[in-house]
Amino acid sequence: MVTGDAAYIKKINRSLIIREIVKEGMISRADLSKVTALTRATISAQVADLLDEGLIIETQLEHNHVGRKPIMLSLNGQAGYALGIDLDYGQLSFTLSNLLGQPISSTTIEIDTTDYFKILHLLMEQIQKYRSAYTDSQYGIVGIVIAIHGLVATDEIVHYVPRFNWHDVHLKNDLEKVLGINIYLENNANLSAFAERVFVHHETNNLLCATLYSGIGLGMMMNSEFFRGHDGYAGEAGHMIIMPGGKPCNCGNKGCWEKYASESSIFEYLSEKRKIKNLTYEQIQGWIDEGDEEVHELLEQFIYYLSIGLNNMINMYNPDVLVLDSELLRIYPNSLDKINKNLHSSISHYRELLISSIGKKSCGLGACALAIKYFLEVPMLNFYYNEQKEKNVSVIN
């Protein structure tokens, strides 16, 4: 039983109630009392406050049974919006969702600079546009989370972004000083892992998500919390050495995992070998379908080196679920079966290995979901992703 001052207990009870409403989608006051073990009087008082604040709504459940129709409680998805920003090399991606995590729009802006102050100005400009455009709800933009493809310290200082060559930049503080709104920074792989937990794997407490696009990042959810390490830098699995004395890496070492098993390594090789500047997945798909021997051999090698690193991750963390976020794995036939065949160690234990069903959108969705989690002050969320509701807009600068 929770003890303490009345304000603290009220806050804990509020969090319990909101979490169950989000988890169930629709729930009655009576059922809330049962699942939270709170008295009906407490439920009634808290629900009245949440209704006054516009965070929840009442719906009369239609049914054919005799008797009074139950009044159901739901989170008011239209009460506000969350903004997720993926700050990646060459582009800024913005995802806007309602409070139910349902994406409203996504916009990608191509950038041709790595200059910190130019990107900072662009971020300020775009965030202001979103704040001005979405003032039609009670709470407006409730939170902003920015995905960083690099090292983010526990104090949210950006320690290092390899492809931008940024060192110890205070992006959070610089944005908050001008915008006057809370900004949160998080590693991109962590946000992808969070999206997998929130939108797909609701009953999974220990989840790893390996993102394989511009490098290899490992998002880790342990007991439904981010596993960050001492300074917040845990998860840089792409810089685990799997080939001593191998290919040089930007980190300063040689033979890093991501030099052999990231999508960027495949794209760089094929672009150089075939003299194609802006290689696309569609072109690689075409070569796969045509039975291009070199491409098939390259992807078999990609899977082999990927499996070596995954074996290490499984043995170190013993996850319930390991999710692989890679478009190449999605388009290459039987890729998952081939990976599983390479994981034949008798001491490797995991429940499920699968390719992400969300894909590249996971980072933006995870950012939105984390902003909502902070706003609602709940320990975890259970949402469902409806891709058809999203409107995609691409803007090129």
Q: Are 218 and 332 in contact (CB under 8 A)?
A: no
Q: For residue 290, how far is the Cα from the chain centroid? A: 34
Q: 157: alpha, beta or left, given left = phi > 0 and alpha = psi -120 to 50?
A: beta
What is the rounded average pLDDT for all residues in the chain?
92
Q: Are 18 and 50 in contact (CB under 8 A)?
A: yes
* pLDDT under 50: residue ranges of the chain: 1-2, 396-397
Domains 6-75 and 201-356 share a fold: no
Predicted pLDDT at 233: 87
Q: Which fold has domain 6-75?
A: Arc Repressor Mutant, subunit A (1.10.10)
Predicted pLDDT at 397: 47
The one-letter code for the residue type at 49 is D
Predicted pLDDT at 349: 77
Please, what CATH class does the domain formed by 78-193+361-396 belong to? alpha beta
Distance CA 303, CA 6 (A): 56
Predicted pLDDT at 74: 96
Predicted pLDDT at 355: 97
Answer CATH for 201-356 from 3.30.830.10, 3.90.1010.10, 3.40.50.150, 3.30.420.40: 3.30.420.40
All structural domains of the chain with their residue ranges: 6-75, 78-193+361-396, 201-356
Predicted pLDDT at 85: 98
Distance CA 50, CA 76 (A): 10
Distance CA 229, CA 309 (A): 19
Q: What's the number of CA atoms in the CB half-sphere (13 Å) around residue 227?
A: 19
**256-314 per-position pLDDT tens digit:** 999 999 999 999 999 999 999 989 999 999 999 999 999 999 999 999 999 999 999 99
